[in-house]
Structure 1
Amino acid sequence: MTIVLVALAACGNSSNQSQNNNSTQSTNEDSLNADLTKKALSASDSNTEKDDENEKVDTPNNEVKKDKDSSTNNTSSQKEEYLKKFNDTKKEMDEKKPTDDTTYALKKVEGDRYDVWDGLLNEVYDVLKKQLPSEEMAKLRNEQREWIEYRDQSAKEASLKYKGGTMEQLEYVTVQNNLTEKRCFELVREYMK
């Protein structure tokens, strides 16, 4: 009986110690969580104060002015954005290399380059349709039609030096590609506002 009482007492002490350790650990975790919560709330309050400092009330007059300024900035930044996009694309296209020296591989690279530049040309043209007044757009439309004829005729003339050879189509696409790239830059520089 004595042995049973000693064993029960030992279990009780062990259980009490375990509960005390768990209680202490739980208290430490609660304290840590409370500190983290305070820091998070403090940071949130600090950000809210900064947001409040930056927030300004717009009056109707300021809103109109803001809209005018923003449209001017958007179009000028749009022009810069397209020039940057074109320069990045030019660099990327110049780095494209054929997989081998066959005419087929060379035509593939030039064809891919042409597809990219032609897509960008159409994209810019669509932006200009929205930006330009109708009279100016009508003038650009006629100019663009003439340019397409010029591009295709120039490509045809350049390719004739290889008439009947495997290089004929390669030369045609290369000239179209180069002229289309040049035209993209021209449209943005001369027409985009």
Structure 2
Amino acid sequence: MNNKRKIFTLILAAILVFLAACNNPSDETNANKQSQNNSSSENTGEDSTQTDTTEDSSDGTDMDEQNDQDSSDSKSSNSSDGESAESGNSESETTESKKEEYLKILNEMEESDRNAEAETTTSGMVEQEEERYKNWDEALNEIYGVLKEQLDAEQMDNLREEQRNWVEHRDEAAKEASLKYEGGSTESLEYIATQASLTKERCYELVANYMK
């Protein structure tokens, strides 16, 4: 009886061991499958995150490039506007400085006349006034040439007619002034000195009233 019980106990123990051996591989298999699923999920999450990051990076790059382009266009536009404004100011300054330039030249010429050493003989004074008249007449012709470029056709026609009348006035005024010394040694001196003085005044008048 005892022997049968021992045999039964051994058989039962063997069955339990066999069953336990069969259950362990299944658990290990399930554990491996679970581990693989978790790993796959983690990889999928990483890939998704990486994809999102790449897309965000791409969008950010495109936005940066667009901003750079907009900034470049804005700078180009501002630069163009600046150049246009500078060009307009430059032309205005050139036109204004032309008038200022000739006023400065005339002032220097007048200063030179005042500082010139006066001649002591009549012939010397006549030569000195002839030189003064020559200088002012050359300046007048130069100013007249500038006005030809600045004035339109109608304005230039009017100025041309005015200039003819002025020349007649100058010569008549010089003649009238010299008659005070008619027959004297200073008659010719007064004539040329009057021409020089009136020509100087005409230079200032043309620059002040007509030059732009």
Normalised-by-shorter TM-score class: 0.5 to 0.7
- Cross-structure match for 1:77: 97
CA distance in 1, matches of 2:118, 2:100: 31
CA distance in 2, matches of 1:179, 1:96: 19
**What is the correspondence of 1:43-82 to structure 2 with a 5 Å cutoff?**
61-82=81-102
CA distance in 1, matches of 2:79, 2:182: 69
Between the two proteins, the alignment pairs up a number of residues equal to 137
TM-score (norm 2): 0.60
Larger Rg: 2
User: Residues 96 and 109 of structure 1 are in contact (CA less than 8 Å); yes or no, is this contact kept in structure 2?
Assistant: no
**Does 2:158 align with 1:139?**
yes
TM-score (norm 1): 0.66
- Cross-structure match for 2:193: 174
User: Residues 98 and 108 of structure 1 are in contact (CA less than 8 Å); yes or no, is this contact kept in structure 2?
Assistant: no
**Does 2:176 align with 1:154?**
no
Q: Deviations over 1:31-50 (max 9, x none)?
A: xxxxxxxxxxxxxxxxxxxx
- Cross-structure match for 2:108: 88
Q: Percent identity?
A: 47
Q: Over aligned residues, Cα RMSD in angstroms?
A: 1.9
1:134 deviation in Å? 1.2
CA distance in 1, matches of 2:87, 2:148: 21
CA distance in 2, matches of 1:138, 1:155: 26
1:143 deviation in Å? 0.6
- Cross-structure match for 2:55: none
Q: Deviations over 1:143-178 (max 9, x none)?
A: 111001000100011111111222111000010010
1:65 deviation in Å? 3.5
CA distance in 2, matches of 1:160, 1:140: 30
Structure 1, unmatched stretches of 5+, are 1-55
**Does 2:174 align with 1:185?**
no
Structure 2, unmatched stretches of 5+, are 1-74
CA distance in 2, matches of 1:102, 1:65: 59
**Does 2:114 align with 1:104?**
no
Secondary structure of 2:110 counterpart: helix
